[in-house]
Chains A and B, each alone.
Chain A
């Protein structure tokens, strides 16, 4: 079974600064996918970014990028030029590709952007 660990329950950062949220996971799978989801106070679950384990290149989506270290089983999220709208819970999630697709979530990091 897979496990996902987010060791930072809460973080805060000044607006416009850069912040990195950490995530580690444990799996015996060789082929898998990793995701970051954002849950603002509105309760929606919004996909932020997705990474295929077989790709060495780190995924980026505008101000969001990941640092994927497969050997270390680490998948951190970097948010550049943070904005007030980035205030949310951030969940790291592990997905298996075939036949038994489900997301295994970490416990989340509550990120607050300070004006």
Chain B
């Protein structure tokens, strides 16, 4: 079956750096997405990776290794507003999105 694994919860300190990992096993691969979801709100798009390597977008970066079935989201200079859930989703060979359960990130002052 298809599977996306992410840690359930992580805690980090304001101003620090945190890395949220995502491993996947899917039928084919057509790209990996990261979304941010604040409590009680809709998911919003953060990043997309289809080739191996690092994509940087301001304080957020996303890395992909297709051979390892692995991605991570790196958040730098953490702010209190970064407290949210981070969802990893993989597009399979049928262009269907398979979603992880999300990682709840708690930022402490």
Same assembly: no
